A and B are shown apart, each in its own frame.
Chain A
Amino acid sequence: MNKINIHRRKLLIRAGAIGLVLGKGQVLAQTSEPGAPGDDPLARLTPDSELAINYEKAQRIVREVLQGRPVREGLIDATVPDIAEDGSSVPASFTVNCSMTNNDYPKTVHVIGMVNPTPEIARYHFTPACGEASVVLRCRMHASSELTFVANMADGTVGMTQRFVSVTAGGCI
């Protein structure tokens, strides 16, 4: 329980999410009695711990792609809405700033929703024949969080861009 609360707190701070919920989370940690979650009026907060678990999963995927390599700044330009009213279809796009010649192109770009139950949304594989590494997509988002774009370049370097999207109604059902 404690561990989950810590995760939740970390997540909410990281995601810059609603301070109100954090306050309630602290109340929950102090007053709730174990064994009777059904009677707890704050039980609706339990999805937060699910979010924390999803966030851990997403972090793991990002780490696996980066493999400890230094992240190139400004490699990916991403466009996302500030507020998505419908989490079941969030328009997003990205462009990788590269020449698309020799080894200067992204082999794969990963799109990751940081609190989605299945964090990895899509992978896009490019070749120099694309001329430009640019994609427009529509994804599902479970809750307000960052959309992460990670580019794995053919020359072995990596780039990452994160954009926060405020989701009004979650769409990962």
Chain B
Amino acid sequence: MAINDSRRRRLKVPETAQKGEIIEVRCLAEHVMQTGRRRNPDTGELIPRFLIERCECHYNGQLVFSADWFNGVATNPYLRFKLKALETGKIEITWFESDGVKTAASAEIVVAGSETD
């Protein structure tokens, strides 16, 4: 059924920030987000449902933000949200697909004025 089986993941966070600054996290998962309502134009068969069902953000191992996605999320789901920069470390996004596959992307951020510097 390989219409588009790309699982490329992109994540963008600022490289540096001041302690307490609110930063923007942008991520994009390349994914068909097949709703299970589409039909194969040649055979008329329903194409099985295949979605990213959940997306989590961990900041230095702590779950800080998450999203549950349903049929209404567009193809190649894009997400932008805010985080408070408190310490230097790793921001990791994990995507959970309906077939059980888990993919992740991570980025390092250096926070000026944080104790871990």
Contact status A117-B65, CB under 8 Å = no
Contact status B22-A138, CB under 8 Å = no
> Contacts of B78 on A, CB cut-off 8 Å?
136-138
List residues of B whose CB falls within 8 A of some A CB: 22, 35, 37-38, 59, 62-75, 77-84, 86
Contact status B69-A122, CB under 8 Å = yes
> Chain A 125-161, CB within 8 Å of chain B: the 1/0 string?
1110111111111111100000000000000000000
10 additional A-B residue pairs with CB within 8 Å, beyond A121-B72, A125-B66, A172-B72: A100-B84, A118-B71, A120-B70, A122-B72, A122-B73, A130-B82, A132-B82, A136-B78, A138-B73, A139-B74
Contact status A130-B81, CB under 8 Å = yes
The minimal Cβ–Cβ distance linking B22 to chain A, given in whole angstroms, is 4
What's the tally of chain A residues with a CB closer than 8 Å to chain B?
35
Q: Which 3 A-B pairs have the closest CB atoms?
A: A131-B84, A121-B72, A136-B80
CA distance A136 to B38 in the complex (A): 26
Q: Chain B: which residue is nearest A121 at the CB level?
A: B72
Among A113, A130, A139, A141, contact of B65 (Cβ-Cβ < 8 Å): A130
> Contacts of A135 on B, CB cut-off 8 Å?
67, 79-81
The minimal Cβ–Cβ distance linking B44 to chain A, given in whole angstroms, is 14
Contact status A131-B72, CB under 8 Å = no
Q: Chain B: which residue is nearest A134 at the CB level?
A: B82
The minimal Cβ–Cβ distance linking B89 to chain A, given in whole angstroms, is 12
Q: Chain A: which residue is nearest B25 at the CB level?
A: A130
| Residue A116 interfacial (CB < 8 Å) | yes
Contact status A88-B75, CB under 8 Å = yes
Contact status B82-A131, CB under 8 Å = yes
Contact status A124-B67, CB under 8 Å = yes
CA distance A93 to B79 in the complex (A): 10
> Contacts of A139 on B, CB cut-off 8 Å?
72-74
> Contacts of A111 on B, CB cut-off 8 Å?
72
CB within 8 Å for A123 and B67 given contacts A90-B74, A113-B72, A173-B37: yes
CA distance A133 to B64 in the complex (A): 11
CA distance A2 to B49 in the complex (A): 34
Contact status B81-A122, CB under 8 Å = no
> Chain A 83-97, CB within 8 Å of chain B: the 1/0 string?
000001110010000
CB within 8 Å for A116 and B72 given contacts A134-B81, A137-B78, A138-B77: yes
> Chain A 77-117, CB within 8 Å of chain B: the 1/0 string?
00000000000111001000000100000000001010011
21 A-B residue pairs with Cβ-Cβ distance under 8 Å, sorted by A, are A88-B74, A89-B74, A93-B80, A118-B35, A121-B72, A122-B68, A122-B73, A124-B66, A125-B67, A127-B65, A129-B64, A129-B86, A130-B64, A130-B81, A130-B84, A133-B82, A135-B67, A137-B77, A138-B77, A172-B35, A172-B71
